[in-house]
Amino acid sequence: MAASGFSDLREKLKSMTPHRDDYRNRVDQSKRNRKSVDGGSNNGRKRKHQELSEDEFEYCDPVECREQEARRVQSGIIQVEVFSQEECKVIEKKIDEVVSNAEEGLYREHTVDRAPLRNKYFFGEGYTYGAQLEKRGPGQERLYRKGEVDDIPGWVHDLVIKKLVASGVIPEGFVNSAVINDYQPGGCIVSHVDPLHIFARPIVSVSFFSDSALCFGCRFQFKPIRVSEPVLVLPVRRGSVTVLSGYAADDITHCIRPQDIKERRAVIILRKTRPDAPRVDQNPSRKTSPPGRHVPLKAKRSHRRADPDAAHRPRVLEMDKEENRRSTSSSRPHHRSNSSENYWRRSQDSEGSRKVKMRRH
């Protein structure tokens, strides 16, 4: 050790690694600097990390985000008053004639689609959706083959389409599909987006018989039926025209809630199908009547009529029952019974509130 000029092994090791002291000095100096900035606290590193996180991720208050989305929806909506009350009365009589013709079986099979408290009448073009699809899901909708639905009635062209063209709402020759939705009190249509691969934009609808509302961004649940809070509630008055495009038509669902149909209401939806829209596959083995022949229509369900109170009372009672079950289930033991009411309750408890996926429609 003396021959090498070091009296201690530690001194020799220190001379062999001089960079360690420099590194240690730099670390100590940086710690002292942080303490002077942070006031001696140990939260400097954590606060710096939080500041970086806030810069990287923009925070949005839920209420503010909802208001922003509502503004985006509103930007894709145009509403105009086109039809007078006298014109509405004339068109509503024509809609009644459509309903009567359907009841008498004067339309082709796929022209009429019946559902509880809501009937749909396709003209010009019809398409499969919902339970009609062999493979469900967005993008699976298909147009019927040419001639499987009736042509657009002349009165729709004369009383509705020509008026909208003259008012500058739609260009001439735009419409090749007209659908009439006839709602009874308490009727609804679940959240959906008009199929993007089927229909061009905009989507034009005209309301008749009564005032109602179109809701955006809702979620439906059934047993009992419930609808979540909408992002936007758009009032639609009798005789008003609603035009959807952009975000309102493509990026958020819209629906008709049961509570918004207090009286009978009908809407005429005018659209243009895309030239490349897919159609139902040709099936030679399927026996169909010639396009020009009217096939008597067998009613799938009765055309229900109800007053507003009668339409809503069953749903309110069902919701009350469920709330009562939840409040008493923890305090009162369940007793098995063969009665139909208890059986219904047990089946409801097992199913719970079944969430329904929003579908494109």
Chain position carrying tokens 């055309």 = 303
Calpha distance 169→256 (Å, rounded): 23
42, 88, 199, 203, 308 from 210: Cα distances, Å = 67, 10, 27, 20, 13
Give backbone dihedrals phi and psi of 226, rounded to 5 degrees, phi first. -145, 155
Query: Residues with Cβ < 8 Å from 177, sequence gap 6 or more?
Result: 122, 123, 124, 125, 152, 199, 270, 271, 272, 273
343 flagged as catalytic: no
3-state secondary structure of 297: coil
CA 315 to chain centre: 21
What is the DSSP annotation of 29-53? HHHHHHHHHHTT-S-HHHHHHHHHH
Calpha distance 41→28 (Å, rounded): 16
Query: Residues with Cβ < 8 Å from 124, sequence gap 6 or more?
Result: 149, 151, 152, 175, 176, 177, 178
**Are the C-beta atoms of 247 and 73 separated by less than 8 Å?**
yes
Calpha distance 147→204 (Å, rounded): 23
CA 136 to chain centre: 16
Axis-axis angle for helices 340-351, 308-329 (nearest 10): 80
Q: Select which of 23, 107, 121, 127 is catalytic.
A: 127
Chain position carrying tokens 């969430």 = 355
Query: Residues with Cβ < 8 Å from 324, sequence gap 6 or more?
Result: none
Active site members: 127
